[in-house]
């Protein structure tokens, strides 16, 4: 499989940097204002899920009805808080091994793309100083969200490739489902056993980086 590899498609939040925590913290703060107690165990249901879909899942925990205008205001409030939480993000906030892996793949002539559900993705990769590695950034406003395969298929089509030439890297259940729906090999990053649908799981990005760099050297 690795001998055919032409494109690695990365998720961003929770894969290249630890922004999952900030996303969830911002949701918890918002939910608390409406007397919704967001238990940490709920985070798994929000990872990889769009802002709007995340809010709908959170509000389903409440018996109150919310108007569309209220929901729009809530999304804006969560996003403002999230942006505040990541305002000082810089190169140092990438996960260990991220810069090294991206640099290695570039030197090997392997394309890299971003398939993040986050509308903050383009700004965040600039802050992390990794934007130059990505030849294609899938636009989450133009495609159905994960678990639909579209965010992973878009970069594949951009480069005129087939699924067997692509590898997807994800930390979310919805993201692994999206990669598998695209018929690609799925690499899961996170606690071992938490992404059972993945083809291979690694606790950290650094662990995955070590393995792939060894195989491709
Ligand atoms: C995903 C995160 O990457 O992006 C989700 O895992 C988040 O938690 C989603 O809701 C959308 O992000 P944003 O920045 O557009 O609200
Ligand atoms: Mg993620």
pLDDT tens digits along 174-183: 999 999 999 9
Q: Above pLDDT 90, what percent of the chain?
A: 98
The fold of 20-85 is DNA polymerase; domain 1 (1.10.150)
Phi, psi of 167 (to 5 degrees): -130, 135
What band does 1 get if pLDDT is binned at 50, 70 and 90? low
For the Cβ of 52 lying below 6 angstroms from any atom of ligand 1, the answer is no
| 7-18+90-216 homologous superfamily | HAD superfamily/HAD-like (3.40.50.1000)
What band does 171 get if pLDDT is binned at 50, 70 and 90? very high
User: Quick one: which ligand is closest to 138's CA?
Assistant: 1
Q: 116-167 pLDDT, tens per residue? A: 999 999 999 999 999 999 999 999 999 999 999 999 999 999 999 999 999 9
Helices (H) and strands (E) in the chain, counts: 9, 6
Residue 48 C-alpha to ligand 1 middle, in angstroms?
6
For the Cβ of 170 lying below 6 angstroms from any atom of ligand 1, the answer is no
In the chain, where the domains are located: 7-18+90-216, 20-85
Distance CA 102, CA 78 (A): 30
Distance CA 82, CA 89 (A): 12
pLDDT at 5: 97
Instruction: Report if pTM > 0.75.
Output: yes
Cβ(199)–Cβ(186) below 8 Å: yes
Q: Tell me, yes or no, if 13 is annotated catalytic.
A: yes
Residue 93 C-alpha to ligand 1 middle, in angstroms?
17
Give the residue whose CA is nearest to atom 4 of ligand 1: 118
């Amino acid at each position: 499989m690795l001998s055919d590899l032409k494109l690695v498609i990365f998720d961003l939040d929770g894969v290249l940097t630890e922004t999952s925590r900030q996303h969830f913290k911002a949701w918890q703060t918002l939910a608390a204002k409406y007397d919704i107690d967001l238990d940490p165990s709920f985070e798994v249901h929000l990872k990889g899920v769009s802002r709007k879909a995340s809010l709908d899942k959170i509000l389903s925990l409440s018996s109150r009805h919310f108007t569309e205008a209220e929901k729009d205001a809530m999304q804006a409030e969560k996003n403002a808080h999230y942006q505040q939480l990541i305002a000082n993000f810089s190169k140092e906030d990438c996960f260990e091994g991220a810069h090294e892996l991206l640099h290695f793949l570039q030197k090997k002539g392997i394309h890299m793309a971003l398939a993040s559900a986050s509308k903050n993705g383009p700004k965040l990769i600039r802050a992390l100083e990794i934007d130059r590695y990505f030849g294609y950034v899938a636009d989450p406003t133009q495609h159905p969200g994960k678990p639909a395969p579209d965010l992973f298929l878009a970069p594949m089509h951009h480069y005129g490739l087939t699924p067997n030439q692509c590898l997807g890297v994800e930390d979310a259940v919805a993201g692994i489902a999206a990669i598998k729906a695209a018929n690609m090999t799925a690499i899961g990053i996170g606690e071992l056993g938490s992404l059972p649908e993945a083809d291979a799981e690694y606790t950290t990005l650094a662990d995955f980086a070590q393995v792939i760099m060894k195989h491709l050297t």
